[in-house]
Amino acid sequence: MTRQDFKKLFDQHFDAIRNYIYYRSGDADLATDLAQEVFMHLWEKQPDYHPKATVGLLYKMASDEFISHYRRQKLELNYKSALSFKLQDVSPEEELEYKELQQKYEKVLAGLSEKQRVVFLMSRMDGLKYHEIAERLRISVKAVEKRMKYALDDLKSKIKVK
């Protein structure tokens, strides 16, 4: 795909792709961001340019990008809701220590690479097995194991419990 082909495709179809995502999400800013991501991914992939097929690919990529965003958002909400349980019969010192530990955990988790964080949360929050994660992310089980190892190493090294 040449720059001219890409520019022509972008100029002709950006608004339609953005509207397609907007109709699914109801959020104009999100639709614009995701549409930009779709075109960025298209440019990175550099597929052969066939006008009709490439437009179809754009819509498929837009749908996939929206679904991925929705799943990430759902995973984040599940994670946050899992952390918000009530502490009962604890001293103020224990509650403070817990809150500090929770903040440290969230900070370290946010500092992980996206790949490590996704694998870690899919394993710990969704309770998926490594082969299930590999299947969903379309990567090898070895890649899942490696990402999980690095995520756990980071968590252990950066969160020191007294």
110 has pLDDT over 90? no
Average pLDDT, the chain: 86
pLDDT of residue 77: 84
- The per-residue pLDDT for range 23-71, each reduced to its tens digit, is 888 888 999 999 999 999 999 888 888 878 888 889 899 999 999 998 9
pLDDT in tens, 17-30: 998 888 888 888 99
Q: What is the DSSP letter of 48?
A: -
Helices 114-124 and 130-137 meet at what angle, rounded to 10? 130
Instruction: For residue range 71-109, list pLDDT tens digits in order.
Output: 988 888 887 777 665 556 677 888 888 888 888 888 888
- Residue 140 phi, psi dihedral angles, 5° rounding: -80, 160
pLDDT of amino acid 87 = 52
pTM comes to 0.49
Give me the pLDDT at residue 86, please: 56
